[in-house]
Structure 1
Amino acid sequence: MSCGRLVAVMMMVLMLASSAGKTVFAAPKGKDEEKNYTLGYGDVIDVLVWKEPDFTVENIVVRLDGKITLPLVNDIRAQGQTPRQLKAHLEIVLRKYIESPVVTVLLKEARSRRFYILGEIAQTGEYALTKELTVLQAFALAGGFTEWARKKEIFVLRRGEGKDTVIPVNYLDIISGKDLKGNLVIQADDTIVVP
């Protein structure tokens, strides 16, 4: 079996497997990913304060203003901080009420990092970006192409530093092995357009 044919068969298996279930929001899997993960609005976290059930709050959603609310402490900025940074900040703030607070911040659902797929794809819409994901994996996640998809004319619209960049993606060249570099890694807020 040729390399291109093997890749095509693997893609079909991935597409069938991904279309069987729904997208699930989950925390990043790797320790390095979670350590460097920056909280954003929509993320769900638990704030656990050791031996202090009155200060422990589970399933807190980071609000649109980037803040969370805790008992007595009120509003605390969470957006833009890693779970470790938020833990350190909460331990300082809680010293007003607890002698030596020990705080754990757990990322339960990473919802702030998303990408979008539009056009001739089986399941268009918004998807959680919970791990490093390539465009081929994104196509599989979205259930594959419709019969009218122009697979040579796909592009990724990427916003960065106030301007949009259009990155062409030729699906047929990627799966044939001609352009493996074209299987780029998706970034938060990317929009994949399949004409």
Structure 2
Amino acid sequence: MPPVKGYKIGLLDEISVTVFREPDLSVEETVVNISGKVSLPLLGEITAYGFTTEELASEIRTRLNSRFLRDAQVSVSVIDPKSYTFTVEGEVKKPGTYSIPGRVTLLQAVAIGEGVTDKARLSEVVVFRTIDGKRYAARFDLREIRSARAEDPQLTAGDLVVVNYSAAVQIYRDILTALPGAAGLFLAIQQSN
């Protein structure tokens, strides 16, 4: 599965680096190590974690041009994304943004956030997702998922999971009201400028 546009390179992701007309400087496959770095010819270890492919290509180009080449043309691709970043907020014990190797389901994401608080409304869980530059939202009921009456959806990189809602965040209330009772149906969100 190729990563979405704007994907930030994560730990254990497999990437390729192509330096055009310089096959000895290109790397067909390299894995981002636990320190967030990759090893490249001439440059040694360079940080890849947290960069988009365009940002990393620019960094490599700058380093090559400053010491070794005149006008390096560099391309970076993610071959196999292993790390996914997602955010859990609302009525969870430890809200935050998490980056983990591998894929994660909605229940696993809530567990990584150390579970729900006593105030959480398990029927009011919304996953926000960006697809082709548009924001979508889907409503889920954790009780139904836990009892195996509903599927535990797989999250994608960059998803935002909101468990219940803060009184201060009116947009979430509006979206929750607009979402149909059918769980797991992603609908586009109208964004006002």
After TM superposition, the score normalised by the length of structure 1 is 0.55
The CA distance in 2 between the partners of 1:142 and 1:78, in whole Å, is 36
| Match among 154, 178, 185 for residue 185 of structure 1 | 154
| Match among 119, 123, 130 for residue 159 of structure 1 | 130
Distance 1:141 1:73, change over 3 A: farther
| Alignment correspondent of 2:47 | 60
State the identity as a percent.
22
The CA distance in 1 between the partners of 2:47 and 2:133, in whole Å, is 31
> Can you give the 5+ residue segments of structure 1 that lack an aligned partner in the other structure?
1-24, 29-33, 50-54, 85-106
After TM superposition, the score normalised by the length of structure 2 is 0.55
The CA distance in 1 between the partners of 2:47 and 2:73, in whole Å, is 12
| Match among 117, 120, 124 for residue 91 of structure 2 | 120
> What is the CA-CA distance between 1:118 and the residue it aligns to?
1.0
Does the Cα contact within 8 Å between 1:154 and 1:193 map onto a contact in 2? yes
| Match among 108, 113, 118 for residue 142 of structure 1 | 113
> Can you give the 5+ residue segments of structure 2 that lack an aligned partner in the other structure?
1-9, 17-28, 165-193
Distance 1:146 1:164, change over 3 A: same
RCO higher in structure (CA 8 A, sep ≥6):
1
The CA distance in 2 between the partners of 1:170 and 1:47, in whole Å, is 44
| Alignment correspondent of 2:4 | none
The DSSP-based 3-state class of the residue aligned with 2:59 is: strand
Per-residue CA deviations over 1:64-123 (Å, capped at 9, x if unaligned) read 6343334534776555x1369xxxxxxxxxxxxxxxxxxxxxx9x95xx41111100011
The CA distance in 2 between the partners of 1:78 and 1:123, in whole Å, is 38
| Alignment correspondent of 2:39 | 47
Q: Aligned residues, how many?
A: 131
The CA distance in 2 between the partners of 1:77 and 1:129, in whole Å, is 28
Distance 1:143 1:76, change over 3 A: farther
Q: Which has the higher helix share?
A: 1
